[in-house]
Amino acid sequence: MSDAISALDGARSEGSAVVEELGLRGMITLRGDLSSKTVAAAVKNLTGLNLPQQRMCNSRAAYGVAWMSPDELLVMIPYGEAEAATAKIAGALAKEHALVVNVSDARAVFAIRGAGAREVLAKLAPVDLSKERFEPGQFRRTRLAQVPAAFWLRDPDRFELICFRSVAQYVFDLLKTSAAPGAEVGFL
């Protein structure tokens, strides 16, 4: 396990926003009936969090639960706990029709923070990122320029973003370019 390294090993850049790869994070894809009490209980047991509403992400310390689709959740936990947690949820849902898989290694995670963070993303994703329309806790699966990505507003000036591991460098370069000084739009 000590040999595990994230795609960009913590790359960082500063511009109109700080862009940072956050290293490894445990992530579990859960597909199932989101109205099921067993699903809610299994997630709560593990993370202490309730199931999120549509297009929301509930967070607490190193834990998070994001709404991915009407039958899919993304459960976030510390990387080291992912294998055991996947087995635990799968066990709890053994009697339900559900799919629980560890996807921690399939992704890269970034933070985009600072005053320019909203505009950095608004140059790349077709999402209304105005303060009144994208509030803390909101989560969006979308695209970032030419690749799929999802992001959520973790804190008032800090977004977290996930993409596939193979395109981590592309996404980092996109965010860095978008945050290059001098190109602040002054719109959001």
Q: Looking at 38-46, 51-59, 127-135, 153-161, which segment touches another protein (CB under 8 A)?
A: 127-135
Given a contact cutoff of 8 angstroms between Cβ atoms, the answer to whether 56 and 71 are in contact is no
Under the binding rule (CB under 8 A), the answer on residue 119 touching another protein is yes
Nearer to another protein, 54 or 146 (CB): 146
Given a contact cutoff of 8 angstroms between Cβ atoms, the answer to whether 136 and 64 are in contact is no
Count of residues near another protein by CB under 8 A: 52
Q: 20-49: which residues touch another protein (CB under 8 A)? A: 24, 29, 31-32
Distance of CA 133 to the CA centre of its chain: 19
Nearer to another protein, 45 or 142 (CB): 142
Nearer to another protein, 113 or 118 (CB): 118
Report the nearest approach of another protein to the CB of residue 99 (Å): 4
Under the binding rule (CB under 8 A), the answer on residue 127 touching another protein is yes
Q: 51-90: which residues touch another protein (CB under 8 A)? A: 71
Q: Is the dihedral of CA 177, 180, 185, 186 positive or negative?
A: positive
Q: Cα–Cα distance between 83 and 16 in angstroms, integer?
A: 37
Given a contact cutoff of 8 angstroms between Cβ atoms, the answer to whether 112 and 175 are in contact is yes
Under the binding rule (CB under 8 A), the answer on residue 160 touching another protein is no
The position carrying tokens 């029709």 is: 97
Q: Is the dihedral of CA 97, 101, 106, 109 positive or negative?
A: positive
Q: Looking at 11-19, 36-44, 54-62, 92-100, which segment touches another protein (CB under 8 A)?
A: 92-100
- Smallest CA-to-CA distance from 102 within 3, 4, 2, 175 is with 4
Report the nearest approach of another protein to the CB of residue 76 (Å): 15
Under the binding rule (CB under 8 A), the answer on residue 128 touching another protein is yes
| Alpha helical stretches, state H, 48-182 | 82-92, 117-122, 168-178
Given a contact cutoff of 8 angstroms between Cβ atoms, the answer to whether 39 and 47 are in contact is no
| Interface contacts to another protein, rule CB under 8 A | 1, 3-7, 24, 29, 31-32, 71, 97-99, 101-107, 119, 122-130, 133, 145-147, 164-170, 173-174, 177-178, 180-183, 185, 187
